[in-house]
Chains A and B, each alone.
Chain A
Amino acid sequence: MEILFALTLGALTTSGVYLLLRARTFSVILGLTLLSHAINLYLFGMGRLKTESPAVIGLVPDYADPLPQALVLTAIVIGFAMTSFVVVLALKAAVELRNDHVDGENPNEDRP
């Protein structure tokens, strides 16, 4: 399970960073989303990977650490809010600047 978890994390982060470095706002936002998924997984993994151990004291002798789960919840909420805000901002910028380049102008298309 650890290997699968690590590979997933690595794949998410790599694709996130790659997309983040693209020039169009749409792929940048996708990159941000993938990166925040990677973070959620990473924070979750920081409580150590265990099966069949709920985060409740008394049910099982070896209970899971509840704090990373709380952190992930906070991170998910903030991530959601920020993604929706960036989408709206990117749309606003695309309408006002008449293109969806992250710099507001495309050096290859806009200039003769």
Chain B
Amino acid sequence: MNHLMAMPVLVPLVAGACLLITFKAPLMTQRLISLGSCSLLALLGIWAVLQAGQHPHTLYYLGNWAPPYGIVLVLDRLSAIMLLLTACLSLIAGLYACRGTDREGAHFHALFQLQLAGINGAFLTGDLFNLFVFFEILLIASYALLLHGGGRARSRAGLHYVIINLVGSALFLFAVGTLYGLTGTLNMADLAVKIALIPAEDQPLLTSAALLLLVVFGVKAALLPLLFWLPRAYSAASAPVAALFAIMTKVGIYAMLRVFHLVFSQGEQPINLTLWEWLWPLSLATLLLGAVGVLGSASLRTMTAYLVIVSVGILLAAISLPGQEMLSSALYYLLHSTCLTATFFLLADLIGKQRYRGYDRFSLVSPLNHRWLLGCLFFIAAISISGLPPFSGFISKLWLIQSAIKAPSGGLLWGLMLLTGLLTLIALSRAGSRWFWRPTTSVSSPLRLDKTSFVLICLMLTTSLVLSLLAEPIIHYLERTAEQILSPDEYIHAVLQSAWLSEAEVVP
């Protein structure tokens, strides 16, 4: 067993615990611990991607208990890329937070690390109840992070966010309970095997459990009837927190990919076909609502929150269509959209700090400092997210559109994606011209532009450029990832086979 496997969970957990104990230590020490943990996570993420490229499934038995009885951590290509993405995002968000956000209240870095522990755990675990526990860890930390800094808007948004997610957790437990009652196991690979053999009279109960899981993951991922908490919560959060939250909706999407493609894919009449039928129209409606929201938002943060919704709609529509190419293009879009939405949350903060009044609102006109610099940054980010060349947005959308044409009824996604792209472009150019394209009214006492924050945002945009420059190896990796997701037999075999093999050494 390779103990490095458990490190993506343990490192932030230990760092978070240390930060809680040493909360009286100077802020500099706290920052060092937090950023050290984030850098370690980034290294671990690179290791995970390389490891998953060589070995299809790396397993780690917690407490050396063999599955299906013990909890098993599974590292495959999908978990590896999600780990790396989270680590990169956390490093940038963590550095950005050191520019003053962490001063606004206590325990910022501790909460940040605990949230990372939850997210990484959710990506690694191979056990359904353990997934619930990690979801709770990341949610509890996110409640506190959302409220960090205080203020009326945050309390108001936090109340909705917390209550809706608590109801989601309740439904998750109902679904897990039903699955356990029917099959007697919670290990995902074992569940898949048992569900394939389930008698026909239990089928409706099983389908209802699966649909409950769809609702739960829909709350996390912000699927249409369950997304109204998102715009207010994301626009109320402080900039680095919102940037980290860009990965949170993707955790829901990851859970759907993992659970639906693995647990409900076996048997003669796999249940996931029903799930995809539900997901397809809902995700298209999500996409449309997101586009309308982008056009109608009054501030850049709200607009970014709706851009998150748009990306969720596109992703869910793409994964509910069959085909390996569709899935791999969706994964590429996932990387691109997470980076870009996070960039926009940070950018909104940077621009907002350059204005005396109105922060990031479009309607309130107050002069802006450093118009040229910020305008160029905004322009690059805008063409990348709306899918114009040469950035990753172009490649991801082109690939999605190409694969959507081949899929049955994919033409609908094709049309809606182009329409959304157009609406996004209109909204962004309206925002940009209102801010940057006006005769200059000189500012009497210019506000200082924070150079570190500026560099960090440039770094995020470079990630987008790297995604498009290194498109070939990345696309190759993602194609293999999609292949792996669509052949759950290998996963089941790896988890259960190794259990049988190692039984002699594990059980005395």
Contact = CB atoms under 8 A, between A and B. Distances in A.
Contact of A93 (B133, B158, B174, B178): B158
A19 to B, nearest CB: 12
Given A46-B181, A85-B140, A89-B147, A35 B170 contact: yes
A99 to B, nearest CB: 11
Contacts of B176: 43, 71
Nearest to A83: B166
Contact of A97 (B140, B155, B170): B155
Contacts of A64: none
B166 A86 contact: yes
B159 A93 contact: yes
A35 B158 contact: no
A47 B151 CA distance: 45
B163 A86 contact: yes
Contacts of A36: 170
Interface string B157-173: 01110110011011001
A101 B133 CA distance: 30
A46 B147 contact: no
A6 interface: no
Contacts of B133: 74, 78
Nearest to B180: A46
Interface string A9-37: 00000000000100001001000100110
A90 B180 contact: no
Nearest to A68: B180
Contacts of B147: 89
Contacts, number: 79
Interface string B184-228: 101000000000000000000000000000000000000000000
Interface centre among B160, B167, B178 (most CB of A within 10 A): B167
A109 interface: no
Nearest to B69: A67
Contacts of B155: 89, 92-93, 96-97, 104
Contact of A67 (B136, B160, B167, B180): B180
Interface string B66-77: 000000000000
Closest 3 CB pairs of A and B: A46-B181, A104-B156, A93-B155
17 contacts: A20-B163, A35-B167, A36-B170, A67-B180, A68-B180, A71-B129, A78-B169, A82-B136, A85-B140, A85-B143, A89-B143, A89-B159, A89-B162, A93-B155, A93-B156, A93-B158, A96-B152
Interface of A: 20, 25, 28, 32, 35-36, 39, 42-43, 45-46, 65, 67-68, 71, 74-75, 78, 81-82, 85-86, 89-90, 92-93, 96-97, 102-104
